[in-house]
Amino acid sequence: MSTPHTPLEPDVVTRLILDTDPWLSCDDCFRLVDTYVESLLDDAGRDLAERDAMSAHLRGCPACLEEAATVLVLAAEDRGSDPEAALVHLERTIDPSGRPER
């Protein structure tokens, strides 16, 4: 460990008790991420339960979020869409302070 301990600042407290229900595993996130990013780009709620579970997982798993964001950027570029706007849409969708967009 390079640093002994990071103090529990408010943002850390928020992440410690984040609501990441409904449960979804990292493997399932990987399985679904391509359809998830395309549903964001199409603004189509293909399977809302699946989309909510993906959003909850991405809120709580920084590694999966980092990867999903890149898949989104690449898919947006393929469609001629603005990748930055797509990323903003992703952030808004998984925002813990609000309900996921539908």
Positions in the binding site for another protein (CB under 8 A): 1-10, 12-21, 23, 25-27, 30, 33-35, 37-38, 60-63, 66-67, 69-71, 73-75, 77-78, 96-98
The residue (of 73 and 89) whose beta carbon lies closer to another protein is: 73
In a 3-state reduction of DSSP, which class is residue 100? coil
State the residue for tokens 């920084």. 62
Asked if 26 and 54 touch (Cβ cutoff 8 Å), the reply is no
Min separation Cβ 82 and another protein, Å = 15
Cα(36)–Cα(54) distance, integer angstroms? 7
Min separation Cβ 51 and another protein, Å = 13
Min separation Cβ 57 and another protein, Å = 8
Among 15, 19, 8, 3, residue whose Cα is nearest residue 62 = 15
